[in-house]
Amino acid sequence: MQYLERIECEYDQKISIDFYKEGDPLKPAVTGFLVFVSTPDPIGNKYYLGPAPLQYMARQIATANGPTGYNRDYLFSMEKALASISHEDDSIIDLANEVRKVLNRTKDTKITGANASLKSHAHYVFYYDLARELFYYLKGE
C-alpha cells in the first residue's frame, strides 16, 4: 500500500468500490477495491491542467516524471497491457503515438514505444485504469 500511496500521490481522492458480475447485481464479486481519483478541483489537485490538445499533452508526458519514473513509461506500459488483453483504447494509442513523435524529434530516444518493456509495477497501472473505467461505467457516467 505504501508503494501505491507513493506513486499515486498526486490524486486527490481515494474511493473504495465494489465490482459485480453481469447478471448478479446483488452479490459483489470483489469488494473494497481501492481506486485513486484525480478530480478537476484546483485546490485539491494542483496539477490538474484541464482539457488540452493532444500535442500539448504529448509534449508534457514525453518529458515529465514522478516519484517512480517517467510519465511516458506509464503511458507505454498501459498501452502494452491493454493490447495484451485485446482491449486497445484509441485515445491511449493516439496519445502514445504522439509521445513517440515528440521523442523522435528530441535527442531523448531511450524509449521507443512499441518496444518499451513493462515495469514490475505495470500490472498496478493496468488494474488502476481498468478499475477507474469500471467505476465510471457502473456509475453510468
Q: What is the pLDDT of residue 9?
A: 67
Whether pLDDT at 125 is above 90: no
How far apart (Å, rounded) are the C-alpha atoms in residues 61 and 106? Answer: 13
Q: Per the residue annotation, which of 5, 8, 98, 133 is the catalytic one?
A: 8
Give the pLDDT band of residue 99 (cuts 50, 70, 90): very high
How far apart (Å, rounded) are the C-alpha atoms in residues 48 and 34? Answer: 21
Confirm whether 8 is a catalytic residue. yes
How far apart (Å, rounded) are the C-alpha atoms in residues 64 and 58? Answer: 10
The CA–CA distances, whole Å, from 46 to 49, 76, 89 equal 8, 25, 27
CB proximity list for 88: less than 8 A, separation 6 or greater: 82
Q: What is the pLDDT of residue 116?
A: 40
Give me the DSSP letters along 57-91: HHHHHHH-EETTEEHHHHHHHHHHHHHHTT---HH
pLDDT in tens, 41-61: 877 777 666 788 999 889 988
